[in-house]
Amino acid sequence: MKTKVKATFLFCFFLLLSCLYANSQQEESTTLSSNSDAKIKVTPEQKEKYHLKPVHAQLYFDCIFCHEGQGNNPENFEAPDEEVCLACHKSKLYLAKRLEFMDTLKANPHNSVHDGPNLYCDECHREHEPSVNMCSECHLKEIKNNIWMKATP
Amino acid sequence: MKRPIIFILLLIIIGVLIGVSISYGTYYGINKTGSENFCVSCHEMDSVVMSYKDDVHGGKGELGASARCVDCHLPHDSLVNYIYTKATTGLAEVGVHFLGNLDEIDWQEKRYHRQFYVYDSGCLQCHGNVLDNTLSSSSKQAQKMHKHYKKLKGTKKEIKCASCHFDAGHKGLRNFLNYYKPEYSIYKDKMEEKKEEVQQKYKRYGVEVDEE
């Protein structure tokens, strides 16, 4: 009789175990063929010279994410077209919509009274050097004192 | 010989009944505390709920399908981890709600830490095949980025779904947060108007309306 009780206990125990781990997902194998990636050698000096914005650095982007099809010498890379930015950042209208609350005072930098949602990204945003704020060319005080805009990311 | 068999059978039946009722109770509790209605009952969540209701994940899509808060904000790799995280974060939230200073919560700052409370296992629970680059619907750009994700997975440089999909689940969150607590002082009056407007609009979702 004792064996029966033991067997019941064991059965219940395994049932519990299987329930607990039924949801555990198997990790997918992550081996990838990387033959399409061009091999680009970036020296530590170049990395220092062309550092990324924190928002992009934390995603560990390689140079060719933006400089695709520009050869394999980082010194010869040129600023990519804005389509490259918008491949991830969707569209200028979308970006304007993200700062919609600023429209209430017509101060949305992505939808300003002067240019609407039509500015080129690099008129303000720079990747490898400090960004600039084009609005500050006229609205210097407001920008400087963080009255309606922070530093351009 | 007969008696012990009856006794064991009875024991098993009672055991099963107790087991089923306890697991049903647990399931019911977990399910009830996983709905957005439960989450919005704490009003510091108002702008989070509004932006969720404005997103495809909140049922704004063509089919009306929606994800629940817990679908993204709890890990789905194992049931143990799910329940453990639910219990610990739940207790922390309750503590903040009753003992913390709710006006001091820096929601804007929290947007930058989304990787820590949006779980990839949750995303993949619904978007199961999204990393399969043979899908016809994934664009060239998506394939490139998802390949990058897979390359970094398991390394020190691991990134999360929410690292790139920064506003998934909460469309226009920054706007809603600004209606409640403007980032710049000059918007104060305008944001009061906007806040009233959105509070009326989202009232039916349990959003608290300021009565003044």
Each domain of chain A, given as residue ranges in start order, spans 44-145
Residue B35's pLDDT is 82
- Is residue A80 a contact partner of residue A67, using CB atoms and an 8 Å limit? yes
**Looking at beta carbons, which residues of chain A come within 8 Å of B4?**
1
Distance CA B87, CA B77 (A): 16
Q: Which amino acid type is present at position A100?
A: E
Structure tokens at B208: 């608290």
**Looking at beta carbons, which residues of chain A come within 8 Å of B167?**
98
Residue B16 lies in a domain: no
- The C-alpha of A148 sits at a distance from chain B's nearest C-alpha, in angstroms, of 6
Please provide the CATH number assigned to the domain covering A44-145.
1.10.1130.10
pLDDT digits (tens, 9 = 90+) for A119-129: 999 999 999 99
Distance CA B119, CA B76 (A): 8
CB contact under 8 A, A60 and B163: no
Q: From the CB of residue B90, how many other CB atoms can be counted at a distance below 10 Å?
A: 12
- The C-alpha of A27 sits at a distance from chain B's nearest C-alpha, in angstroms, of 10
Q: For B28-41, what is the mean pLDDT?
A: 88
Q: Which of B115, B195, B124 has its CA nearest to residue B158?
A: B115
Q: For A36-40, what is the mean pLDDT?
A: 61
Size of interface A-B (CB pairs under 8 A): 89
- The C-alpha of A123 sits at a distance from chain B's nearest C-alpha, in angstroms, of 23
Distance CA B48, CA B31 (A): 20
Residue A8 has pLDDT above 90, yes or no: no
Q: What is the pTM of this model?
A: 0.84
Distances (CA, A) of B24 to B29, B33, B70, B89, B157: 8, 14, 19, 22, 41
CB contact under 8 A, A98 and B172: yes
Residue B22 lies in a domain: no
Determine the structural domain holding residue B67 and report its residue range.
49-204
The CA-based angle A127-A132-A138, given to 5 degrees, is 160
CB contact under 8 A, B79 and A20: yes
**Looking at beta carbons, which residues of chain B come within 8 Å of A12?**
15
Residue B9 lies in a domain: no
Residue B37 lies in a domain: no
CB contact under 8 A, A20 and B78: yes
Distance CA B69, CA B62 (A): 20
pLDDT digits (tens, 9 = 90+) for A23-37: 444 433 333 334 445
* Secondary structure (3-state) at B82: helix
**Looking at beta carbons, which residues of chain B come within 8 Å of A24?**
77-78
Distance CA B174, CA B107 (A): 9
Distance CA A117, CA A109 (A): 8
Q: Which of B80, B71, B79, B85 has its CA nearest to residue B124?
A: B71
Residue B110 has pLDDT above 80, yes or no: yes
**Looking at beta carbons, which residues of chain A come within 8 Å of B131?**
28
HSE-CB at B59 with a 13 A cutoff on CA atoms is 9
Residue A17's pLDDT is 66
What is the b/e burial string over A59-79, where b = at least 16 CB atoms within 10 angstroms of the residue's CB? bbbebbbbbeebeeebeebee
**Looking at beta carbons, which residues of chain A come within 8 Å of B152?**
60
Which residue of A lies nearest to B187 if distances are taken between CA atoms? Answer: A105
Residue A21 has pLDDT above 80, yes or no: no
Q: Is some CB atom of chain B closer than 8 A to the CB atom of A99?
A: yes
**What's the structural domain count of chain B?**
1
Average pLDDT in chain A: 83
Interface residues on B facing A, Cβ-Cβ cutoff 8 A: 4, 8, 12, 15, 76-80, 82, 121, 124, 131, 141, 144-145, 147-148, 150-154, 157, 159, 163-164, 167, 172, 174-175, 178-179, 182-187, 190-191, 193-194
Q: Classify the C-alpha dihedral B18-B20-B23-B24 as positive or negative.
A: negative
Q: Which distant-in-sequence residues (6+ apart) come within 8 Å of A12 by Cβ?
A: B15
- Token pair 């997902």: residue: A25
Q: For A36-61, what is the mean pLDDT?
A: 85
Residue A108's pLDDT is 94
Q: Which of B120, B144, B118 has its CA nearest to residue A27?
A: B120
Q: For B94-116, what is the mean pLDDT?
A: 93
CB contact under 8 A, A32 and B147: yes
Q: Is some CB atom of chain B closer than 8 A to the CB atom of A39?
A: no
Residue B30 lies in a domain: no
Residue B85's pLDDT is 96
- Is residue B82 a contact partner of residue B74, using CB atoms and an 8 Å limit? yes
Q: Which distant-in-sequence residues (6+ apart) come within 8 Å of A150 by Cβ?
A: B183
Structure tokens at A149: 């805009």
CB contact under 8 A, B82 and A8: no
CB contact under 8 A, A5 and B190: no
DSSP A112: B
* Phi/psi of residue A112, nearest 5 degrees: -80, 165
Residue A40 has pLDDT above 90, yes or no: no
Distances (CA, A) of B151 to A34, A35, A63, B124, B157: 9, 13, 16, 17, 9
- Is residue A53 a contact partner of residue A153, using CB atoms and an 8 Å limit? yes
Residue B20 lies in a domain: no
- The C-alpha of A76 sits at a distance from chain B's nearest C-alpha, in angstroms, of 23
- Is residue A147 a contact partner of residue B184, using CB atoms and an 8 Å limit? yes
Q: For B165-176, what is the mean pLDDT?
A: 95
Distance CA B89, CA B83 (A): 10
Which of A27, A99, A104 to mutate to probe the B interface, most B CBs <10 Å? Answer: A104
